[in-house]
Amino acid sequence: MAKQAKTAIKKDAKAAADAKNWTKVIRAVRSPKTGAYTFKEAIVHKDKIKDFLAQK
């Protein structure tokens, strides 16, 4: 028989289902001083994505 991988982690089904409700959102923000773009990243609940993108 083959050995099991030591990195195999048994995940809780509830935690795995809850993780699917979160999304990484990346938004480009323009600097008022230089005019260069920077990126703002956040992990947001899927219900709050529109609120995050509407922020200035």
Consecutive H or E run containing 16: helix 13-19
Tell me the C-alpha distance between 13 and 20, whole Å: 11
Could you tell me the CA-to-CA distances from 16 to 11, 48, 53 in Å, in that order? Answer: 7, 20, 26
Q: What integer pLDDT is reported at residue 21 of this predicted model?
A: 92
Domain with 49, as residue range(s), is: 20-54
Q: What integer pLDDT is reported at residue 19 of this predicted model?
A: 84
Q: What integer pLDDT is reported at residue 26 of this predicted model?
A: 95
Q: How many domains does the chain have?
A: 1
Assigned domain for 28 exists: yes
Q: What integer pLDDT is reported at residue 7 of this predicted model?
A: 60
Assigned domain for 6 exists: no
| pLDDT tens digits along 1-56 | 666 666 655 667 777 778 889 999 999 999 999 999 999 999 999 999 999 999 87
Does this model's pTM top 0.75? My answer is no
Largest CA distance in the chain: 64
